Amino acid sequence: MATIARSMLLVLSLTLALGLTACATRTGAPPSEGTQAQPQEPLRIGASISLTGRYDRTGKEMQNGYELWAEQVNATGGITGRQVQFVIYDDTSDPETSRNLYEKLITEDRVDLVMGPYSSPVTLPASTVAEKYGYPMIASGASASDLYTRGYSNIFGVYTAAQLYLDGAIDIAVRNGYRTVAIVNENSAFAKDTVAGAKRKAEQAGLQVIFEEEYPNTVRDLAPVLTKIRPLNPDVLLGGTYGEDSTLLIRQMKDLNWTPRIVAFTVGPALPDFYQTLGEDAEWVMGATQWEPGLRGEGVAEFAAAYKTKYGYDSGYHAAGGYAAGQLLKQAIERAGSVDNGKIREALATMDANTIYGAYKVDATGSQVGKPSYMIQWLRGERKIVWPDAAAETAAVVPLPEWGRR
């Protein structure tokens, strides 16, 4: 009951906030007598987002991206003359809760359209509901391959495929003559995909994978895993991680006074608060990312500035992904000339588009094939793109210094 209460309060607050924006947009001199048009009904977009639970940090970032997009769209007249109104529930980072909430959004709330939740584990069941009712879903916070191997026609990715996330770390390792790799990961669909891709890439590049181990998403102590790895002294440590486990790994590596030459994780290091949480211990850590404020591209600088003004800190890729998903949905509606779900599905399946995230193009399964992933490194308290070369802001700094020499 408490979760539902929190969710309903969230929906009310979003409705009021966006309603005020809509009213502000329509304020001005009244039309001439007899010509006043009736305002159209709002365009209601439903989503569940992880605002509490394991994925709350990244979920909130994605919600920020949704809200900023809606605010800007409404300030310029909405979409086809209709103001955007989000109906959002907290799925508590739980896949089954998300499944139930999308059933509610579609059958009870009767929203016009839906957007995806955060994380692959939560998106998998949510997208099953969208497929059941024929609602196209932009997967704005998920990239596991399982999303695209079920024969669904209503799922469309924004992120690069999970198997490619750690390619940059492998490439940097090869360039620097490193030879051995240890891999750890959470036992979730996304994390498994990222390390499977990394292992394949490493072996193709002639590197030796000398250690692999999974851990549950409830883990609170990774020292036993690190204690197994340390005597093997791998050059590279790769992690299929989220937020909490990535910071835990760094803290416990320091406790053990052990430093590989390269440390590269997914999700965690790309979060804006990674450095706030770890301080200088975050220095030199690499992270897979989908987008960074320093990228060159149409609208990137404007989005980054608007985000920082609104929220008080730099955007990470999860917020930008939410915003870009909104841009894609708007383009699909305009291309379709309708908010009919079937026509929007066709537009999303066939269009080549650009957003602040970069190029959008999907294959026949809905998987994103239009954009690359990137590798960042924390250097002097800032995230800097270090791979690929075409987008790099600076060269990667390796090897990581030992803890006692920092």
If the chain, 406 residues long, is cut into consecutive pieces of 10 residues, what is the mean pLDDT of each piece? Answer: 44 42 36 52 98 95 98 97 98 98 98 97 97 97 95 97 96 98 96 97 98 96 98 98 96 97 97 94 97 93 97 95 98 96 98 96 96 96 96 97 93
Same domain, 144 and 18: yes
Using DSSP bridges, classify how beta strands 43-49 and 262-266 pair: parallel, antiparallel or unpaired. Answer: unpaired
Same domain, 153 and 167: no
Q: Looking at residue 340, what is its pLDDT?
A: 97
CA 201/CA 25 separation, integer angstroms: 51
46: tokens are 């439903």
Closest CA to 403 of 272, 230, 251: 251
Q: Is residue 200 situated within a structural domain?
A: yes
Q: Is residue 91 situated within a structural domain?
A: yes
Exposed/middle/buried for residue 35 (C-beta within 10 Å: 0-12, 13-18, 19+): exposed
- Cα distances from 270 to residues 29, 58, 125, 314, 328, in angstroms, run 47, 10, 26, 11, 23
Same domain, 100 and 198: no
Q: Tokens 């669909």: give the residue.
A: 189
Same domain, 81 and 8: yes
Closest CA to 162 of 316, 285, 266: 266
Whether the bond between 231 and the residue before it is cis, its omega within 30 degrees of 0, is: no
Give 297's Cβ-side CA count (13 Å radius).
Answer: 20
**What's the total number of domains in the chain?**
2
pTM: 0.86
CA 370/CA 360 separation, integer angstroms: 5
Q: Looking at residue 39, what is its pLDDT?
A: 66
Range of 48's domain?
Answer: 2-22+41-160+297-360
Tell me, what CATH number does 270's domain have? 3.40.50.2300
Same domain, 99 and 181: no
Same domain, 123 and 10: yes
Q: Looking at residue 118, what is its pLDDT?
A: 96
